[in-house]
Structure 1
């Protein structure tokens, strides 16, 4: 029964998403769309257990006979309990040989029953090389249904947000073609080329589709910002996929606002914009000189302080829309500063492997955001993760058996495991989550950290969450002085004995892009605060001399943009770039070192 309902809901969502319903609908029709969406959400979250079990049954019904799964059902009995008993929990390395065989030309039926239409690429910035994740037409539609539900929830919170346009900064990367002929790309690249996007969301965006599909990120960024400025009085939403993209956008605006104003003032596009799609799109928008608009923008951008620059340039904006959890949380203070109090909305939690859940409280403070899992996208299991007395997630799993979505416990930490219709079976995504509540019967999770993203010199294990919390405390020392920490990264320097933690910080004054005058005593206090925030193991080894004094290396403005450019040159999409909290690449460390303007240490005898 529930599978029939899910298929029906998927069809409804797909139809709604391919039609510009919200903008062109009457007030009555808009109300009906919202009500239908909310009714569907209620159905999904009230029937979590039933939907999950039915979904797993459907996955096994389709795929139990594949080469991969049939090994675990020698008697042919592929029911839900047999699946949980016999099928092992795996990582990407376990499933990779099958994916590689498909990529090299073997039939996808060795792994799943339905045809693979595309491979999705993971970002690769946190874990090394990008992974190839199978995607089917059905799994794509499920992602779209989650996006629509999330959009409906968000719009319901902001009156008038249906009446204007979205300035969303979107970018693509060239697709790869595997020997089998199947293409591999980032999800955003695939999505922006679909009719779903072109006939749906793209119609609400200020950016013409050809500027989004431009492969030159610089030309694309310039043209998207130019169209956004030309339509500044219509923009009610500002955003992108990740907060890192918006941070990059502000930096680009700082560098190019004069040229953008010149284009608007003269009515002529800069000569270096040579992409045919961009030139054609802009010829339809930049049709005449507009001195008055250019002067208004110039007056705003010439202000010494750019605090609130987003709302000054686009005065009708209701909210900023991007992922701000996980590694993106380091950009929260930056976006709050430039946003001038505009709410930051982190709408959805997903990955290359699956869509997981949506934020039902869009007005939540950035560090309070939780995501309500939807049971129709994948079959979810959760590996309990141990925690210490301070509630910090530890490196190892407990000996407890995995639990399903309906049976997780409030306040507990888990690593999420997914089984999808697209060929992933009991696959560990690598994300550690904390249960923060329930909406009806569906759990709500707060993202904690990526598993195994750690700094370590000896037996110490400092996680992504540990590092983030420590740096957030140290930032409080700088803020009263008008100094902003715009972004950071780190690595474990073991080139000397004993080794030490090295933090890279990019700092700026609130009122300008000038590098702050760095007081050695203040910076030493920051180093101390970070170390004092670490756990007992770190402190004891630091005191015993097994770990050297922590070092903070301050880099000049724009250095982290060079780091992003490095990862983009290696194949990462700007739209899906996740700044690495802990660097594993020697080349990346060299890039940040090349921008260093000062370095500071904790006292040697701190503990």
Structure 2
């Protein structure tokens, strides 16, 4: 049974954290035993365990699987209306829909009524306890932006929702009405307007992903004058018609506030928006957003817009499960690690060698199970791919996340998120991972940073329409000094292309250096400002949640490539063949 505690009770929170992190191995064995006891008779597990719930048999017989391996079972429940006991003896009530932007495809993850409590609530309590440890946050309000999409129903009668929408819609009484608005533009406008009216009470700003916070800033840039007018007159804009938004805002925007409007105008009319968050909400102590993995690219932009406020990346969560909490919320954003909470799910780990391509670890490998280790036996400095087993029908499921063990809290490991598996660029036998690409782009940007540029966003694809094929990177650049369209220096941009290539691995450089090269010069296409907002709108129109959206670093959709190409303002190619000796 999971413990319960009031997150405002610091002594209780500390005791529970010390207890669960000091008994990780024992707790994990209890979790696995509970899962097997409940679900050994399901169609899926029975085919491997013959109805037994033995943990050793589970580790020996149950295979490691990808989503495609279990999709057939989920489809039988979601599309054909077959009973939940195919996968779990708990009743599946909803399907959590993943973003589909980091791994390429949306996934439907089962959720049961029993899972709703107490697991996630316990995890949230831990998270709130950690955030309350930040100095000064009890003296004001948090402005946390949440956007939800309308429900979708499967032919089998189940609801498709994001994890966020599920939490909010199942506990409506805990959230302000404006968050329940399913028109994202009206909801975001109203949330921002409420935050502006209460600007002197706000002590923290947040959203789920760093990319989302950047989107919110751009939305504010487009609408601040209208919001200021609303505050000046005490009247909402006519296009805000959603009753939930109107009711919420009317409670806050109840009178004319010309002085407040003047102060907002004074800040927003400045030529540069550097530090805009701190200027608009001067009492803000920190910004909350996930900044690990591919989100790390947004750290320079957040530092620019927030005035270098601390950025807190509080937790490691997914549609599949809650995993870890950041016990050092004010650490350097590049050093964030998450302490796994051992009673949320059963975790296993596939070791990834220092020079081993994580994409080569095939789930069909008969020897794969021989190398798997449990949570208590991971080693500092080692990379692993995460497997998860849950009560909701996931068994030895490959998350596709590559993690690095950075330390321990008591005996519980702490992990840094490194990258997603299978997100690569490839023309020939080269394989460039998401982390490889991000590191190379970061190095190349050193050429432009002294000129006042930072990178708002980027993506890429392998262009095989010509011979030889080549890597194409789309960059959206921003000037620190103002919001004007930046002028691009041909020589320096070509140097950026060469630096990206020089920073990639030896296999890539070998294929570029061959007498008959199989990879052509790398290309950077600079796009208009606002382009990646348009790209996000495209993915959202296809069902991705704004809360979960992550810019895909390897574009697969031809339509998405067309959107980016239609907004290109400059094309640049590497003029140098990368040196193989470095």
Shared fold, TM over 0.5: yes
Aligned residue in 1 for 2:43: 67
Aligned match for 1:370, one of 337, 340, 344: 337
Structure 1 residue 125 corresponds to structure 2 residue 92: no
Structure 1 residue 436 corresponds to structure 2 residue 406: yes
- Counting only pairs closer than 5 Å after superposition, residues 100-499 of structure 1 correspond to structure 2 as 100-103=75-78, 104-141=80-117, 142-156=119-133, 158-195=134-171, 198-199=173-174, 202=175, 209-388=176-355, 394-397=358-361, 401-499=371-469
Distance (Å, rounded) in 2 between the aligned partners of 1:605 and 1:276? 60
Distance (Å, rounded) in 1 between the aligned partners of 2:260 and 2:64? 58
Tell me the CA shift for residue 525 of structure 1: 1.2
Aligned residue in 2 for 1:551: 523
Distance (Å, rounded) in 1 between the aligned partners of 2:38 and 2:483? 57
Distance (Å, rounded) in 1 between the aligned partners of 2:318 and 2:399? 8
Aligned residue in 2 for 1:589: 561
Tell me the CA shift for residue 145 of structure 1: 1.6
Aligned residue in 2 for 1:567: 539
Tell me the CA shift for residue 533 of structure 1: 0.6
Tell me the CA shift for residue 479 of structure 1: 1.0
Contact 2:527/2:569 (CA < 8 Å) preserved in 1? yes
Distance (Å, rounded) in 2 between the aligned partners of 1:102 and 1:370? 36
Are residues 137 and 39 of structure 1, via their aligned partners in 2, closer, same or farther at CA, if it must alter by over 3 Å?
farther
Aligned residue in 1 for 2:489: 519
Tell me the CA shift for residue 99 of structure 1: 1.1
Tell me the CA shift for residue 138 of structure 1: 3.6
Aligned residue in 2 for 1:87: 62
Contact 2:509/2:578 (CA < 8 Å) preserved in 1? no
Tell me the CA shift for residue 427 of structure 1: 0.5
SS in 2 for 1:162: helix
Give TM-score, length-normalised by structure 1.
0.92
Distance (Å, rounded) in 2 between the aligned partners of 1:127 and 1:305? 36
Structure 1 residue 77 corresponds to structure 2 residue 41: no
- Of stretches 492-501 and 90-99 in structure 1, the one that deviates more from structure 2 is 90-99
Distance (Å, rounded) in 1 between the aligned partners of 2:27 and 2:63? 23
Tell me the CA shift for residue 210 of structure 1: 2.5
RMSD: 1.4
Please list the CA deviations of residues 37-57 of structure 1 after superposition, one character each: whole Å capped at 9, or x if unmatched.
111111111001100011111
Tell me the CA shift for residue 336 of structure 1: 0.7
5+ residue gaps in structure 2?
362-366
Distance (Å, rounded) in 2 between the aligned partners of 1:581 and 1:317? 31
5+ residue gaps in structure 1?
1-6, 17-21, 23-29, 203-208
Contact 1:551/1:601 (CA < 8 Å) preserved in 2? yes
Tell me the CA shift for residue 571 of structure 1: 0.2
Distance (Å, rounded) in 2 between the aligned partners of 1:190 and 1:269? 29
Tell me the CA shift for residue 8 of structure 1: 4.3
Tell me the CA shift for residue 393 of structure 1: 5.3
Distance (Å, rounded) in 1 between the aligned partners of 2:120 and 2:563? 36
Distance (Å, rounded) in 1 between the aligned partners of 2:496 and 2:576? 14
SS in 1 for 2:199: coil
Distance (Å, rounded) in 2 between the aligned partners of 1:284 and 1:70? 56
Give TM-score, length-normalised by structure 2.
0.95
Distance (Å, rounded) in 2 between the aligned partners of 1:606 and 1:450? 26
SS in 1 for 2:350: strand
Contact 1:434/1:447 (CA < 8 Å) preserved in 2? yes
